[in-house]
Structure 1
Amino acid sequence: MPKDRPDEEIDMTPEDMAPRIVRYGELVPCRTAFIDAHTPGSNQKENFTIIGGGVSEAADQHVHIQIPHGFNIGAAGQPPYCRNSLHSHRTAEVFFLLKGRWRFFWGRHGDAGHVILEEGDIFNIPTGIFRGFENIGTDYGMIMAILGGDDAGGGVVWAPQVIEDAKDHGLVLGDNGKLYDTKKGQALPDGVKPMPVLSDAELDAFPEPSAAEVIPRHVARYLDIAAMATPRPTKVIGASGRLPDKPGFEVDLITRASATEKMHRHDRPSVLMPVFGHWRIDWDGGSTILAPGDTMSVPENLDHSAMPSMTGEAALYHVVGTDDPAGPTWTGGRSEPA
């Protein structure tokens, strides 16, 4: 929670802060981050690791900010009709849409339910279910991701058909969680075996919730939550949030109506991620302007404020860690900490 005047305080110069600001135009993509990177239909996607190691399976994934926050921040960029294959996470995976129109689907074969989301919408996908997503817009799209825990739960669990399909296109996932490209002459190292596919018994443990079960508790539409963000930010994800959950972090939406010039601070690092408009961030020691797609990590105990710097629509998501376990578990209609 923010603190107006804690005992400890710091200040930072713009040069000190620069490594903690990642500009949208400077994001470094990885095009072989996951096992489906060569599979037709998924082979044009780009993955970005902004804060923390994420869940990439590629050894050459670039990490922009390695400071532990208690959660990871990443992004996925995809041209129209490119999809991310069915997989599951052990900790939270929260997306908000930065650019485009996207369809999220879930279930063992991706047919248990789906939802179509627009820019600014946010989806707290339940853990323990297979999920995938595709850009159904007409231009390159970008979604930003928040993953629970500093280690993001130890990786991704793939639906069996994804692993099998990948073999036909040269990518093999080792049981060490690393990818090997046979088309480049790579082979599994000694002592490393192919990642086994899940058995029928293991697959039976993955729930198949309907859209009616998932959407009301796990999806927040931007227009709805923006309307609630006055005169104070909307708690989107948190114990008392619009999407009540305790995944190890909280997410607030701040709009022009709820922004304030009053300085505040947190006792742990926090992250600012504009989705609409340009924002002026002031802190003890400097200031900067953030645009949609930029990500800023604010150090703990640093006084700062965020205000729109231009007229027009303005909204940003604010993320801060909590002491809760890093991930909800699907329990049939609701989420609880793991």
Structure 2
Amino acid sequence: MLTQQEMEARVVRYGELIPCRTAFIDAHTPGSNQKENFTIIGGGVSESADQHVHITETPGFNIGAAGQPPKCRNSLHSHRTAEVFFVLKGRWRFFWGRWGTAGEVVLEEGDIINIPTGIFRGFENIGTDYGMIMAILGGDDAGGGVIWAPQVIEDARDHGLVLGENGKLYDTKNGDALPEGVKPMPLLTDEELKAFPETPVTDVVRDYVARYWDLMALAGKAPAKVIGENALLTDKPGFEVDFLTRGSIPETRYENPNHEVLMVMRGHWTLEWEGGKTVLAPGDTAAVPPALSHSLTPSMSGEASLYRVTTTDDPAGPTWRS
């Protein structure tokens, strides 16, 4: 049995998220220097020792978030494992390619994108207010870090930040220097860059994007399978994603043999188990341990939705289908 205190330690409240403003190499680069990064479950891919980690135990994947004011963007980078985002607040443009010009898609609140591995991608808040996107990264170590487009590393160096080959950031404006024996992160060569495709926009939107109101319709009587085998976005990135609404919640308590993470999109949800109950609000994240019998109930009238992420035995690696 899990006590109330033990479960509360597994819940990260939106209002208690602790940001890091120096998480990545573009933290000083104009246009990207107002980003806030949040590491909710697992260490994520932050390059800064200042990054606060809310829950260190990883369930086979990492959960994070990015908060940005209008017109702030995240620079072009790639990952070796899955990177999934859903828009919690605002309106966001996701773009990709060597120079960010191969394609783009605009996501509204609740929309979800499973960005293919092996392509450079970035994102920008194009709304009028502070925006927030929630992230799921494949693997316990999230693929070992970020692969930056060469121009990002060069731009960062011009503004005082140097990334070491050890994956750590050094701020020359603060008097930091690379430790003895540590070299700067090398730029990708022209030959290495050939492995990063200029993916057509139709391929990404068709295979990797799901719209919130489509999911609301699909989840009318049962949870909508969003990412996973036989899901709307067919993929095996080491986890599955379901979408639940008021009409699709299990009628009784259920046990999941695997780790389960609940990420609330809309409404307030009561999570109940033998030992206690707690209410989850939009932006809250709850890590439910395996084999815990629990139930979910919308605790207020009106719109209610959440994403449920479950560990699978599939490898955390490549999601790109050429």
Give the TM interval when normalised to the shorter protein.
over 0.9
C-alpha distance in 1 between matches for 2:91 and 2:306: 19
C-alpha distance in 2 between matches for 1:222 and 1:86: 25
TM-score normalised by L of structure 2: 0.99
**Secondary structure, in 3 states, of the residue corresponding to 2:236?**
coil
Give the total of aligned pairs: 322
| Contact 1:281–1:290, Cα closer than 8 Å, also in 2 | yes
- 2:218 matched to 1:228? yes
C-alpha distance in 1 between matches for 2:8 and 2:304: 23
C-alpha distance in 2 between matches for 1:38 and 1:184: 12
1:248 aligned to which of 238, 246, 251: 238
C-alpha distance in 1 between matches for 2:305 and 2:70: 25
C-alpha distance in 1 between matches for 2:267 and 2:96: 32
CA-CA distance at 1:205 after TM superposition: 1.1
- 2:282 matched to 1:292? yes
- 2:253 matched to 1:268? no
| Contact 2:237–2:319, Cα closer than 8 Å, also in 1 | no
1:166 aligned to which of 156, 166, 179: 156
TM-score normalised by L of structure 1: 0.94
C-alpha distance in 1 between matches for 2:61 and 2:172: 33
Equivalent in the alignment of 2:184: 194
**Secondary structure, in 3 states, of the residue corresponding to 1:183?**
helix
String of CA shifts for 1:145-172, please: whole Å, max 9, x gaps: 0000000001000000000000111100
**Secondary structure, in 3 states, of the residue corresponding to 2:253?**
strand
2:40 aligned to which of 50, 53, 61: 50
C-alpha distance in 1 between matches for 2:254 and 2:279: 18
C-alpha distance in 1 between matches for 2:319 and 2:259: 25
String of CA shifts for 1:150-195, please: whole Å, max 9, x gaps: 0000100000000000011110000000000001100000110000
Structure 2 matches for 1:169-184, cutoff 5 A?
A: 169-184=159-174
C-alpha distance in 1 between matches for 2:57 and 2:188: 34
- 2:112 matched to 1:122? yes
String of CA shifts for 1:240-285, please: whole Å, max 9, x gaps: 1100000000000000110134101112221001101111111111
Equivalent in the alignment of 1:258: 248
C-alpha distance in 2 between matches for 1:118 and 1:158: 26
C-alpha distance in 2 between matches for 1:268 and 1:187: 44
**Secondary structure, in 3 states, of the residue corresponding to 2:216?**
helix
- 2:15 matched to 1:41? no
- In structure 1, give the amino acid aligned to 2:301: T
| Contact 2:235–2:319, Cα closer than 8 Å, also in 1 | no
C-alpha distance in 2 between matches for 1:130 and 1:305: 40
Equivalent in the alignment of 1:320: 310
| Residue ranges of structure 2 left out of the alignment (5+ in a row) | none
Equivalent in the alignment of 1:6: none
C-alpha distance in 2 between matches for 1:328 and 1:254: 26
CA-CA distance at 1:73 after TM superposition: 0.2
- In structure 2, give the amino acid aligned to 1:41: G
**Secondary structure, in 3 states, of the residue corresponding to 1:73?**
strand
| Residue ranges of structure 1 left out of the alignment (5+ in a row) | 1-10, 333-338
Equivalent in the alignment of 1:108: 98
Equivalent in the alignment of 1:27: 17
- 2:138 matched to 1:148? yes
String of CA shifts for 1:11-31, please: whole Å, max 9, x gaps: 111111111000001001000
CA-CA distance at 1:107 after TM superposition: 0.1
1:59 aligned to which of 49, 53, 60: 49
| Contact 1:261–1:307, Cα closer than 8 Å, also in 2 | no
C-alpha distance in 1 between matches for 2:87 and 2:296: 21
Superposed CA RMSD in Å reads 0.7
Equivalent in the alignment of 1:95: 85
- In structure 2, give the amino acid aligned to 1:253: F
Structure 2 matches for 1:203-242, cutoff 5 A?
A: 203-242=193-232
- In structure 2, give the amino acid aligned to 1:295: T
